[in-house]
């Protein structure tokens, strides 16, 4: 993997993906598709492309111009919360529509591999709005027919969020303890660095086809 596009680079998982790619000597170029520029210093090989995700033609051009040749991998880790979005419709636009449209444009631009951050329990038939949305995204990204599609399904994400969530920190501490019990281990919280590392490791696997990695498998991969 010599070049990569990162969607969601200012988010919890996306920040870690960028940090790891910047440290990887095998990666020569990192292109960030973002709604706002990151507020930290970036490596010289990292380019920022501020993007209006409601205008597919705009980011399609940015993808096509990302490199004289197509980038090797699209890392897709864009997402928001229902509280931040304000409605299910708004969250769906960010978590499904924006990611799907970028993936479609990346496929058209010749990107061979997509590495997607999904969620534990993702299924188009799920009762939960969130896991159903993630399942629909998985299904439709797979249908795009990338040479290699990599999907990770993390449980609770453990990392430093921009907003303060004291209650969530207590819950995370409890889940770390419960995650050691038989039958509950699949729900064990996973660090965002572990998720990012697993996504990169999967992207470097040149085996064609689709690979879906569940939460408990991420620890060994990263």
Contact 189, 155 (CB under 8 A): yes
pLDDT of residue 126: 97
Q: What's the start-to-end Cα distance of the chain, in Å?
A: 17
pLDDT of residue 164: 46
Helical residues (DSSP H) of 93-211, grouped into ranges: 99-108, 129-143, 166-178, 192-204
Helices 12-23 and 192-204: angle between axes, nearest 10 degrees: 50
Cβ-based neighbours of 55, under 8 Å, separated by 6 or more: none
pLDDT of residue 36: 86
pLDDT of residue 197: 97
Query: In a structure prediction context, what are the per-residue pLDDT tens digits for the chain, which is 222 residues long?
Result: 789 999 999 999 999 999 999 999 999 999 999 988 888 889 999 999 998 999 888 777 777 656 555 679 999 999 999 999 999 999 999 999 999 999 999 998 889 999 999 999 999 999 999 999 999 999 999 999 999 999 999 998 987 755 544 544 555 455 555 555 566 667 888 999 999 999 999 999 999 999 999 999 998 887
pLDDT of residue 46: 94
The pTM of the whole model exceeds 0.95: no
Backbone torsions φ then ψ of 153, nearest 5 degrees: -125, 75
């Amino acid at each position: 993997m010599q070049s990569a596009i990162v969607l969601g680079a200012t988010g919890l998982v996306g920040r870690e993906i960028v940090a790891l790619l910047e440290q990887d000597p095998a990666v020569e170029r990192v292109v960030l598709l973002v709604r706002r520029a990151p507020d930290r210093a970036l490596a010289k090989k990292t380019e920022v492309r501020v993007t209006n995700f409601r205008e597919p033609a705009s980011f399609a051009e940015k993808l096509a111009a990302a490199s004289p040749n197509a980038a090797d991998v699209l890392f897709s880790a864009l997402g928001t919360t229902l509280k931040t979005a304000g409605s299910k419709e708004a969250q769906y636009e960010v978590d499904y529509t924006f990611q799907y449209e970028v993936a479609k444009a990346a496929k058209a631009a010749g990107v061979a591999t997509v590495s997607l951050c999904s969620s534990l329990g993702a299924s188009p038939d799920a009762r939960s709005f969130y896991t159903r949305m993630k399942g629909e995204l998985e299904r439709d990204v797979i249908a795009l027919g990338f040479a290699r599609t990599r999907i990770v399904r993390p449980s609770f994400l453990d990392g430093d969020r921009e907003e303060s969530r004291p209650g969530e920190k207590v819950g995370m501490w409890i889940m770390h303890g419960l995650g050691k019990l038989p039958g509950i281990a699949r729900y064990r919280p996973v660090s965002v660095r572990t998720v990012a590392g697993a996504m990169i490791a999967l992207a470097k696997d040149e085996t064609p086809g689709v690979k879906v990695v569940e939460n408990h498998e991420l620890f060994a991969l990263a």
